[in-house]
Amino acid sequence: MKELNDVIVSKAIIKEYMDDLLDYTEMDVAIGGGGPSGVTAGYYLAKAGYKVALFERKLSIGGGMWGGGMMFNKVVVQEEGKRILDEFNIKSKPFQDNYYTVDSIECTSTLCSKATQAGLKIFNLMSIEDVMIRKDKINGVVLNWSSVEMAGLHIDPLTVESKAVIDATGHPTEIAKIVEKKSQKNLNTTTGKIIGEGSMWADRAENKILENVSEIYPGLYVTGMAANAVHGSPRMGPIFGGMLLSGEYVAKKIIQNLEK
Ligand code: 48F
């Protein structure tokens, strides 16, 4: 083996990371949250040629998908979502009519792998702690290291610009909460506020989710569990067709709006 220099390893990592970070100070779409809906949205946007980055608070991407249902690492996908599993080449096994089981580890890792290979840029270990609002439109997100947030350090964040932002933060709807609190205008929900998720009801939750994928404030879109929580629909538990389909659908909506 050729001789290795530790400092060159450091230089390579620092240079490449800083180049990426600088490049993504301006982009088409910023996604908050790396669960299945956010990653799927990122895949479809990247595949369509958009410059898109996803910011995930945790070390790992995948949100609530790794652990299946109650740590049994299988998830269920219904007939409509199977098309997306097939597109990603993720194996699924028929259980009975309309129910497929999927290995949650294969599913999560493959979504992540195919999305990054399609061009989605993922920044993990970063939290979106605020948004940029200009002329009553969301124009970007405000980022800080998750470790700064966890340690409670008083360190100012940095801002990046995007034409659209997706709240894919799941149950807590974190970006929508920031906008609800800081903007003077109502959100585009039936009450003008975040309604909050209902208790678990897979059938209703999955049947409502595509209707809930929407632009809730100019420039801010919701997908995945965040879409149901913002609009007051139930949670669905470990069935994931709606997560995949809502990720695809929010990408489609944004593409239509950005093309206008
Ligand atoms: O919760 P999560 O997996 O969201 P999802 O894509 O999928 C929901 C399902 O996992 C499951 C369900 C459906 O069957 O009910 O719960 O809607 O992933 C959300 C990700 O967002 C990250 C968080 O760490 C998680 O990985 N996140 C949350 N807030 C922030 C954030 C933030 N402010 N900045 C960055 N990442």
DSSP 180-243: HHH-SSPPSSSSSS---PBSP-HHHHHHHHHHH-EEEETTEEE-HHHHHHHHTPBP--SB-HHH
Q: Residue 55 in 3-state DSSP?
A: strand
Strand partners, 222: 167, 214
Burial class (CB in 10 A: 0-12, 13-18, 19+), 142: middle
- DSSP E strand boundaries for 2-62: 26-32, 52-56
Centre of ligand 1 to C-alpha 173, Å, is 9
Tell me how far apart the alpha carbons of residues 94 and 77 are, in angstroms, rounded to a whole number. 10
Q: Residue 233 in 3-state DSSP?
A: coil
Ligand 1, atom nearest to 126 Cα:
35
**pLDDT tens string 9-45:** 999 999 999 999 999 999 999 999 999 999 999 999 9
Q: How many CB atoms lie within 10 A of CB 247?
A: 30
Tell me how far apart the alpha carbons of residues 173 and 126 are, in angstroms, rounded to a whole number. 16
Centre of ligand 1 to C-alpha 10, Å, is 32
CB of 243 shorter than 6 A to ligand 1: yes
**Mean pLDDT per segment of 10 residues, for the chain of length 260 residues?**
98 98 98 99 98 98 98 98 98 98 98 98 98 96 98 98 98 98 95 98 98 98 98 98 98 95
Q: What's the pLDDT score for residue 102? A: 98
**Residue bearing tokens 């695809």:** 248
CB of 40 shorter than 6 A to ligand 1: no
Q: What's the pLDDT score for residue 260? A: 80
User: Per-domain residue ranges for the chain?
Assistant: 27-66+121-259
Q: Residue 49 in 3-state DSSP?
A: coil
Q: What's the pLDDT score for residue 184? A: 85
Residue 22 Cα distances to 27, 160, 211, 228, angstroms? 11, 9, 36, 34
What is the phi/psi pair of residue 126, to 5°? -125, 140
Ligand 1, atom nearest to 38 Cα:
6
Strand partners, 77: 100
Closest CA to 239 of 203, 208, 197, 199: 203
CB of 108 shorter than 6 A to ligand 1: no
CB 84 within 8 A of CB 62: no
CB of 170 shorter than 6 A to ligand 1: yes
CB 58 within 8 A of CB 150: no
CATH of 27-66+121-259, one of 3.90.850.10, 3.30.9.10, 1.10.10.410, 3.50.50.60: 3.50.50.60
Q: Which pTM value belongs to this model? A: 0.98
Q: How many CB atoms lie within 10 A of CB 188?
A: 15
